[in-house]
Structure 1
Amino acid sequence: MANPLLQQSTLPFQLPDFAAIDVPEIEAALDEGMARQREEIRAITDSTEPANFENTVLALEASGDVLRRTANVFFALISSDATEGLRELEADVVPRLSAHEDAITLDPVLFARIAEVYAGRDALSDEDRNLTERYYTEFTLAGAELEPKDQDRLRELNSEIAAAQAEFRAKLQADTNDSAVLFETAEELDGLSDAELSACARAASDRGLDGYLVTLVLPTTQPYLATLTNRESRRRLFEASMARGSRGNEHDTTATVQRILRLRAERAKLLGYPNHAAYAVADASAGTVEAIEERIYPMAAPAARNADRERELLQQLADRERAEAGAEPFEIAAWDWAYYSDKVRAERYAVDASALRPYFEYDRVLRDGVFFAANAVYGMTFEERTDLCGYSPDVRVFEVKDKDGSSLGLFLHDVYTRDAKRGGAWMNNFVDQSGFEQTLPVVCNNLNVPKPADGEPTLLTLDEVRTLFHEFGHAIHGLLSDCRYAHVSGTSVPRDFVEFPSQVNEMWIEWPEVIANYAVHHQTGEPLDPAVVERLRESAQWGEGYETSAYLGAALLDQELHKTTEPIEDLAAFQAEALRRIGLDNPAVPPRYGTAYFNHAFGGGYDARYYSYIWSEVLDADTVAWFVDNGGLRPENGDRFRDELLSRGRSRDPMESYRQFRGRDPEVEPLLERRGLV
């Protein structure tokens, strides 16, 4: 049979025909895609005609369709449904993909032609000029202006870095799977709901084990720590989470991380930057490391003070409970924080987070919460396409339509955790939106919710509800894209801007009309008491000291790791010292990710850019204030946000899009108030 990846899919919206795709097809299509793009680039560089937008920049944009289509499928599957064969292919092909990209960006004839078009860019239309500027900037940052001998070394470095990042991802996923904690009895997991126990029993059964298996999600603090009453069980779960990647076994990531840091530092120096952090943010909204130091680092001290005040309250509650039980007191440790924090929230605000789960049934939250808000604000509607299949039986497929009934694209949803899936939550594209290529987006959201036994409902925690809304904000950004060129469409914006629309979408979680529509008891049909919703809002700032400290601990650790240019002999010692210098070395408040399992930083994508979430949150908080001031859930507000920002991608400078939307530069005060940092 013909390889389905070598031509456009005949399925609606060019959805990949996953049933016909396996490792051999992917490998062959990647090889063929690289070969075809080399020929397409050669046609550009062999041209004897003067360079212009059409024969150079537009021809470059049009090149590589087979490779792009295949890579979208390949990297999505590596993250979401990785077989052993795919992992082996990743280790082999990622360095070759890196070399292929280098062959394009370091081609002197191609860059000279792009530079010629760039010199005359003022005569182009806005979108054509912007695309030309993007390619020129990206080629420059990629080393197009280096001497040939330096370019040779750059190629070696890029290949080695790509291979090391693939190695890190594979080791971390394997060690995360192996680090799942097996409990023999249900009593050890007292505090979990019947549905959660069912999920743990199923996870153990799936691996041929007796008992209850708690699988790990990517962040340090595991969800069950908030409800487990057995302190020893909490300790076991927390320590398993912290030890990932540093257990001295075959999946230990330490040497891989050290190699990545060394290689990135050398590459930055070769490209003329003092360190990798400076190189990584040069094309971001922040622009410089100094801007991050000026805006983000000062948040650490007030966040740490808030966390200390929260810890005092947790300790008082724990001491009182232990005294009433006639038990020996203990000092609040990291594995106790979530458990007692929920108790403080319940005591101070009468909000029991675990009691909310029956009101957050997954399908209802998705349809009557996430989709409902998108319809109210943007006019989007969603029809489940059971005739279309994803890459796993767990994947659901929805056709998305605009307010006028026209199609916007496809939305795939993959909510459940499995051994073949990496931790965390993310959005990816299978098909990019492009007016030039006349393609509509096909986007996918991934979460990691434990799958209950057959017939049991999927009940979400409040954090999982937040993740659902957050990731769908990325999907909206992709689905509402209206750009001429795929290279700058949808979420193809700077890392420290891309989280902004997704964070804005979180505002609808507790919006009165939205939560009243989805927060309904899955058995009784009883709506969540509006008084409980109000208390949820009142309690919003409780725990911000911990959450901000944990996040900043990871974000600023990421910066410190990538600002150093000397080899790091002891990663654990470096992490401890960096957190001490920053002022976030509270042992009860560990960073959201530790160095050995920091996939954002070493799996590729957010290296020296994990600060992006809080940088984007400045824009988010300022935007939420605008929505509140302008009546919130109104189509007129959605139209403005969509027209000036969501639809624009990087077809113009994203900060200019923000100014066009807001009428001014962002202000930081709404964020400081939200996080209790005033």
Structure 2
Amino acid sequence: MSIAPQQISQETPENPLLVPSSLPYRLPEFSAIRTEHYLPAFEQAFTVHLAEIAAIRDNPEAADFQNTAEAMERSGALLRHVALVFFNISSADSSPEIQAIESSVAPQLSAHMDSIQLDSKLFARFAAIDLSGLNQESQRLVSEYLAEFKRVGATLGEAAKQRLREINSTLSELSTQFSQDSLANLNSAAVLVEDPEQLEGLSAHQLAAAAVAAEQAGQPGKHLLTLIQPSAQPALESLHNRDLRRRLFEASVNRGQGIGDVRTLEAAAKMAKLRAERAQLLGFASHADYETSDQTAPSLGAINSLLSQLAPAAVRNAQAEAEALAETAGHSIEPWDWSYYSEKVRKARYDVDLAALKPYFELDRVLQDGVFYAANKLYGLSFIERKDLQGYHPEVRIWEVKNEDGSGLGLFLGDYYTRDSKNGGAWMNPLVEQSGLTGWQSVVVNNLNISKPPAGEPTLLSYDEVVTCFHEFGHALHGLFSQVHYPRFSGTSVPRDFVEYPSQVNEMWILWPEVIANYARHYESNEPLPQEVLEKLEAAKLWGEGFATTEYLGAALLDQAWHQLAAGEDPGDPLEFEAAALRKAGVELALLPPRYRTSYFNHIFAGGYSAGYYSYIWSEVLDAETVEWFEENGGLSRDNGDHFRAELLSAGNRIDPLQAFRNFRGRDASIDPLLSRRGLR
């Protein structure tokens, strides 16, 4: 018998994580949650979940859908709630205390899930369920559980299961360690500048943000250039001082190699070897084969074929760009010169100065009059800021999202500013997941890393940050629009190589005439971004695609190299392995490091993208097709938005994602629109 929430709250009323939230949409009561609540909440949640699982497994009645599959979906709600709240905090507002809890909980969570997923008796109950008479979503639920049980090792012998438990526990520890060390390295690699003359080229707002960062770091009167997670750093585009560009570039690409920070290379190599061993135990040739087995990509061979097909053309484009940069510079260029001279070429060829656009991209206008405006035109949504509700940090903003008929859809949280306690990069997390079974609606959060200006100053975004705002909100829409019955299928719980697709589609509205005319206005004069500038932006779209595609492919191919290792294969020195892998793939360019090097590749060593970084380009095949469909059918309209919402965004994983795409598009996807978009024909 499962333990009801009311029983939990009566036993431990002092812990707000163990009491159902009374706030709208079950928003966690962050004002009451303290660090000391997390560990006891996990302990209680583990106990409750194991009791729920035991009741299912040991039920003397014959297995049927209600007492096994549906009961499984109802189980673990408390643990899921605690984990969603905690792991959002650990990535968005960490602390030494939070990191200590994470280091303790991660292996416990791994062992807990192994105890369930490797349970042969539980698997047998699912195998005994009669599927006749069940609707499509219920049949899919049983099939997905059966596939997962087999995939993770439920049918193996006890000795193999024990080794799996050991590997999974060690991997969870190493992943947590990599994440925490990577954050420490990101912070310690920030470049301190004592002479303000070296900062010539930065805007007044960039200078102000660097001054604030230095003051917060205990260096008043100086400037601190903080880093973002990828190799390329925004300030490299505009800094005139070549030596400072070198310092910033080297600080970025040398993170995690033991030069003044925590070395992460050994942890990465150990994880790759353990993943290869686990794959062999599970009957796969490599970790990449294992990860591909439940994705939309038909095979690892298909992934390798796509990446190898794109690489030569991307490298040719990058080399042509490098020649143009050297010509503009008047001398041979170094890696730290690329972004700087790329902007000069962009300005000379297309008369587009991206840095000069920042006054037109004020954060609140981008959100309210750009991101939210497009969502209103497409889907009829409205956004009401709820200042009466509190997030997990003072900088978090909360909006209630409503449908056109006034019905509530969910809550959207925005956490936009960088801080030392936040991981680099940008992401979307669910805090409450929609489900017809539970009756819950979605609560989702977008996290970005925008430099915070001094008090009273506007937050002006780079063009790349505008892209990130639209992209991450595409993930948010995927979560908010979820209309599934079972929690397992909710929102973005789709194959990893499909999850980026809706977010990439949402980027198409950035330069859509009606949208950009509404949000791109000078923060002081309110003048719109001139039409001729918009036309030049469109004309300049392909400039820099050689760089962008090659640096992305470098990371995707490096990911595959680490995760196509065979069991027992020794990669040797991690840096030598990295160089050899890039060389073999044909993307080793001295001037252009991969978007992420091994030592700070959080996506694959501390996130859910191991052997899956290819998914961005795989998803972009669907994205490019979808953009073409919108353009062919009139673009920004309710009919188009409603069709995309009904057939794809709301479907979650209750139907096969590629079938959802076919239902939307009317056919399978072609690679041709992607090749045209990236200039790879």
Structures share fold, TM-score greater than 0.5: yes
Q: Could you list the runs of 5+ residues in structure 1 that have no partner in the other structure?
A: 320-328
Q: 1:657 aligns with which of 650, 656, 660?
A: 660
Q: Provide the secondary structure at the position in 2 that maps to 1:296.
A: helix
**Structure 2 counterpart of 1:41:** 53
TM-fit CA distance, 1:296: 2.2
Q: Distance in 1 between matches of 2:642 and 2:306?
A: 31
Matches within 5 A, 1:404-483: 404-483=405-484
1:225 to 236, 239, 242: 236
Q: Which residue of 2 aligns with 1:366?
A: 367
Q: CA deviation at 1:247?
A: 2.1
| Counterparts in 2 of 1:116 and 1:248: CA distance versus 1, 3 Å | farther
Q: Distance in 1 between matches of 2:447 and 2:308?
A: 31
Q: CA deviation at 1:248?
A: 4.8
Tell me the equivalent position of 1:285. 296
Distance in 2, matches of 1:484 and 1:581, equals: 47
Aligned to 1:322: none
Q: Which residue in 1 is equivalent to 2:173?
A: 163
What SS does the aligned partner of 2:647 have? Answer: helix
- In 1, Cα distance between equivalents of 2:535 and 2:128: 60
The amino acid that maps onto 2:149 is F
Of residues 235, 254, 260, the one that matches 1:243 is 254
Residues 296, 615 of structure 1: 8 Å contact kept: no
Tell whether the 8 Å contact from 1:7 to 1:66 is kept in structure 2 after alignment: no
On the 8 A contact 2:397/2:413 being kept in 1, the answer is yes
Give the deviation of 1:258 after TM superposition: 1.5
* Match in the other structure for 2:8: none
TM-score under structure 2 length normalisation: 0.97
State the partner residue of 1:131. 141
Question: What is the root-mean-square deviation of aligned Cα atoms in Å?
Answer: 0.9
Letter aligned with residue 29 of structure 1: A
In 1, Cα distance between equivalents of 2:388 and 2:87: 24
Q: Distance in 1 between matches of 2:123 and 2:135?
A: 21
Q: What is the deviation of 1:214? A: 0.8
Task: Kindly report which structure 2 residues correspond to 1:263-278, keeping only aligned pairs within 5 A, or say none.
Answer: 263-278=274-289
What is the CA–CA distance in structure 2 between the aligned matches of 1:121 and 1:97, rounded to whole Å? 31
Aligned residues: 666
Question: Which secondary structure state, in structure 2, belongs to the residue aligned with residue 19 of structure 1?
Answer: coil
User: 1:556-635 to 2 correspondence within 5 Å?
Assistant: 556-565=557-566, 566-635=569-638
Which amino acid is the alignment partner of residue 76 of structure 1? Answer: N
Q: Is the CA contact (8 Å cut-off) linking 2:410 and 2:441 kept in structure 1?
A: yes
The alpha-carbon deviation at position 500 of structure 1 amounts to 0.1
Q: Secondary structure at the match of 2:224?
A: strand
Matches within 5 A, 1:328-339: 329=331, 331-339=332-340
- Following the alignment from structure 2 to structure 1, what is the Cα–Cα distance between the partners of residues 53 and 259? 46
CA distance in 1, matches of 2:113, 2:563: 23
8 Å contact from structure 1 (residues 23, 86) kept in 2: yes
Read off the aligned partner of 2:528 and give its amino acid letter: P
Q: Distance in 2 between matches of 1:185 and 1:635?
A: 54
The SS at the match of 2:445 is strand
For 1:455, the aligned partner's letter is G
Q: CA deviation at 1:249?
A: 5.2
Query: Which of these residues, 180, 183, 188, is aligned with residue 173 of structure 1?
Result: 183
Per the TM alignment, residue 581 of structure 1 is displaced from its structure 2 partner at its CA by 1.1
- For 2:132 and 2:593, locate their aligned partners in 1 and report how far apart those are by CA, in whole Å: 51
C-alpha displacement of 1:465 = 0.2
Give the counterpart of 2:316 among 305, 313, 317: 305
**1:672 matches 2:680:** no
Partner Cα distance (1:437, 1:206) in 2: 44
Query: Are residue 106 (structure 1) and residue 107 (structure 2) matched?
Result: no
CA distance in structure 2 between the partners assigned to 1:428 and 1:646 by the alignment: 16
- Counterpart contact for 1:492–1:649, Cα < 8 Å: yes
Amino acid at match of 1:238: F
Give the Cα separation in 2 of the matches to 1:22 and 1:135. 35
* Cα distance between partner residues in 2 of 1:155 and 1:581: 34
Q: In structure 2, what residue type is equivalent to 1:513?
A: E
**1:324-363 residue pairs with structure 2 within 5 A?**
329=331, 331-363=332-364
Give the Å deviation of 1:250: 5.9
The residue that corresponds to 2:102 in the other structure is 90
Deviations 1:179-237 (A, max 9, x none): 11000122111111111111100001001113100111000000111111111111100
Distance in 1, matches of 2:18 and 2:247, equals 49
- 1:23 deviates by 2.2
**Deviation at residue 122 of structure 1 after TM alignment:** 4.2
CA distance in 1, matches of 2:447, 2:298: 30
The residue identity in structure 1 corresponding to 2:277 is E
Preserved contact between residue 188 and residue 230 of structure 1 (Cα < 8 Å)? yes
Q: Could you tell me the TM-score, scaled by structure 1's length?
A: 0.97
Partner Cα separation in structure 2 for residue 548 and residue 121 of structure 1? 46
- In 2, distance between residues paired with 1:111 and 1:8? 31
Query: Contact 1:197/1:212 (CA < 8 Å) preserved in 2?
Result: yes
| CA distance, structure 2, for counterparts of residue 314 and residue 582 of structure 1 | 24
Offset at residue 7 of structure 1 (A): 2.2
SS in 1 for 2:554: helix
Query: What secondary structure does 1:354 align onto?
Result: helix
Distance 1:287 1:86, change over 3 A: farther
Q: Assess if the C-alpha contact under 8 Å between 2:255 and 2:261 holds in 1.
A: no
How big is each residue's C-alpha offset from its partner over 1:374-432, in whole Å with a ceiling of 9 and x where there is no partner?
00001111000000011111100000001111011000000000000000000000000
Distance 1:456 1:334 in 2: 33
Paired with 1:350 and 1:248, the residues of 2 have a C-alpha distance of: 40
CA–CA separation in structure 2 for the residues paired with 1:279 and 1:162: 18
Alpha-carbon distance in 1 for matches of 2:468, 2:335: 23
- Deviation digits for residues 314-341 of structure 1 (CA, Å, limit 9, x no counterpart): 111000xxxxxxxxx3x21111111111
* Percent identity for Structure 1 against Structure 2: 52
Q: How far apart are the structure 2 equivalents of 1:142 and 1:318?
A: 54
1:545 matched to 2:546? The reply is yes
Q: Is the 8 A contact 2:84 2:430 kept in 1?
A: yes
For residues 412-457 of structure 1, the C-alpha deviation after alignment (integer angstroms, 9 at most, x for no partner) is: 0000000000000000000000011000000000000010110111
> Would you say 1:50 and 2:62 are equivalent positions?
yes
Residue aligning to 1:27: 39
- Identify which of 620, 635, 638 aligns with 2:641: 638
Contact 2:191–2:225 (8 Å) recurs in 1? yes
Quote the Cα distance in structure 2 between the aligned partners of 1:380 and 1:84: 40
